[in-house]
Amino acid sequence: MTEFELIYRYFKAQDTEGASIEHTAIIKDLGDDAAVVAINAPSQWLTCVDTLVQGRHFSEDWQQVSELAFAIGYKAVAVNVSDIVAMGAKPHSILLALALPERLANETWLGEFAKGLFHACKQFGVRLIGGDTTRNDKLIISITANGILPVAIQPVYRSGAKVGDKIYVSGTIGDASYALNYPETEVGKQLAHRLHMPTPRSILGQKLASIGLATAMMDVSDGLVQDLGHLCQQSQVAMSLQLDQLPTSKPLQQVELAERLRCQLTGGDDYELVFTLPASVQLSQDLLSSVSTPVTCIGEVIELQQVQPVGNTNFGSSAIELTYQGTAVTEQAPYPFDGFPNLHGYQHFSS
């Protein structure tokens, strides 16, 4: 199979079923030097890119890479959709840059990968409009995602959290991390789908932006505390998190408390949304009509003791106070931990 046969065979023919009205703006997709999208002036165009690397974002092991072809295609789309909806926008289209090992350039692997990719595209209403294919020793998938938002709706940034706001998280957290760390356990197996095929909270993110009440929002990719640290830094606030309120899936409830909390606080890979709302807002079923994802209040925004410099990489843990059943979790009294936990989340580089 040549490079061009590969592109046309696996990525050119997209199911048009489920294409949205906004997709009519795609004038040219795969096949030319660039995709062409008509700009509808009263809309805002959002764009982001995320890369998945073999051995870093999914297993190094070729057997696993083969078995997980569908899930890898799905997850590559899902993590990008997650960033778009974390701004409150509607996902529109993606570009796929693929560095493909020769051993995967075959019908079995590419067929499954493309199936997973297009399954996610259909589920989240995005069209593949272009990309790039190269050969490499390891599999690297880089996806650029685009989203749209009417000008009348404000994107929800990380920078708007205010003292007194309540902090909410969608779904449950810690599942993906547990599945990654304990894949052979019964609980790990029950949670494997949360690691391999995360669900971006598309409807919730868009709804929160459209009702215009969320003061800040982001998705949890690197770990709750580290990611909330970014939100604190950009909003110049601190946060108090109630550990007994963290939403926990049925399988994860079986895990020993301290280990479970470590996964929930630092694990990452959850792709849940965290957001802040003024305390006066009651998150009623009415307000979140059409949203099936549960949301849970996990704490509140408090005053920052001292202004933090932008480059302070330890900001995350220092701006976030933990309480358990009303009592502060500290170095001196770390219960329910034996010792105060390391709250760093996932980092590609750390010194």
Smallest distance from ligand TPS to CB 201, Å: 16
The HSE-up count of residue 99 (CA atoms within 13 Å, CB side) is 11
Task: Tell whether omega for the bond before 334 is within 30 degrees of 0, i.e. cis.
Answer: no
- In angstroms, how far apart are the furthest CA atoms of the chain? 63
Q: Which residue bears the tokens 């599945």?
A: 179
Residues 61-100 that bind ligand ATP (CB under 6 A): 83
Contact positions vs ligand TPS (CB under 6 A): 50, 56-59, 180, 221-222, 268-269, 346
Token pair, residue 262, equals 């470590």
Alpha-carbon gap, residue 253 to 187, rounded angstroms: 9
Alpha-carbon gap, residue 307 to 68, rounded angstroms: 45
Residue 184 neighbours by CB under 8 Å, 6+ apart: none
The correct pick among 14, 29, 35, 50 for binding ligand ATP (CB under 6 A) is 50
Measured from the Cβ of residue 142, the count of other Cβ atoms closer than 10 Å reads: 18
The correct pick among 219, 222, 269, 272 for binding Mg ion (CB under 5 A) is 219
Query: Which lies closer to Mg ion via its Cβ, residue 83 or residue 112?
Result: 83
The correct pick among 22, 50, 83, 112 for binding Mg ion (CB under 5 A) is 83
**Residues near ligand ATP (CB under 6 A), total:** 4
The correct pick among 144, 206, 221, 233 for binding ligand ATP (CB under 6 A) is 221
Measured from the Cβ of residue 206, the count of other Cβ atoms closer than 10 Å reads: 22
Residue number of the CB atom closest to ligand ATP: 221
> Known binder of ligand: residue 286?
no
> Known binder of ligand: residue 196?
no
- Which residues are at the interface with ligand ATP (CB under 6 A)? 50, 83, 221-222
* Binding-site residues for Mg(2+): 33, 50, 83, 132, 219, 222
* Binding-site residues: 33, 50, 57, 83, 131-132, 158, 219, 221-222, 269, 346
